[in-house]
Amino acid sequence: MDDYGFRKDENGNPLIKDCQTIPFFTYYTSPESWTVFRELWTNKNGLQDKYVAYWDAMTKALAPNPYIVGFDPTNEPLPSWTSLTNALWKIMPESGNFDRYDLTPMYERIFEVIKKYKGDSYMWFEPGQFPDEVGVTSYLNWVFELGFDKPPGAEIGSRNHILNDHTYCCQIVGTCDATGEP
């Protein structure tokens, strides 16, 4: 993050005004972003445990609200890796390994929390962004297999799961107009 040259506040954090000069998705390429995603998926330093505890507290607090129909634990999960070999193993289009080995275990833990407090609600779950949603898929209109063999923590046909296919229309057809529509 220091390479961006942003001014800092009294706590040493980059100023929001400076951060907003770059499209937010650019920050996904920072070493800090890759590191925190990798620590979340692998539970390094107990980060995933803390994330599940957050979902426990939030679900408990929101469960009595009749207007809450479901939960989406992770928006656009980004794969991260420790080496080129590990990257290829996780993100090769045919593999689905990131969904299977990194996302599924965490999603299963969060689904247990959701069931505990609001068993009649839905869990939306997303596959990894890459290669499914970013990269060659948007240019070549390829569709890759997901790594989910069944809904996390449930069986095929679960009434409590929704696969959140977080895809933008323009990715499917390869072009978008100024409004983001194909």
Tens-place pLDDT, residues 12-59: 999 999 999 988 878 888 888 889 999 999 999 999 999 999 999 999
CB 132 within 8 A of CB 125: no
Count of structural domains, the chain = 1
- Answer whether residue 64 is part of any domain: yes
- Answer whether residue 63 is part of any domain: yes
Structure letter (DSSP) for residue 22: S
- Answer whether residue 8 is part of any domain: no
Extended beta strands in the chain, E state: 70-71, 122-125, 161-163
pLDDT average, residue stretch 48-74: 96
**% of the chain at pLDDT higher than 90:** 55
Report how far residue 121's alpha carbon sits from residue 67's, in angstroms, rounded to the nearest whole number.
10
Six-digit token string for 160: 């409590």
108 contact partners, CB below 8 Å, separation of at least 6: 152, 153
- Answer whether residue 148 is part of any domain: yes
**Residue range(s) defining the domain that contains residue 95:** 36-173
CATH number, domain containing residue 141: 3.20.20.80
User: Which of the two residues, 140 and 69, has the higher pLDDT score?
Assistant: 69
Residue 180 DSSP SS3: coil
- Answer whether residue 15 is part of any domain: no
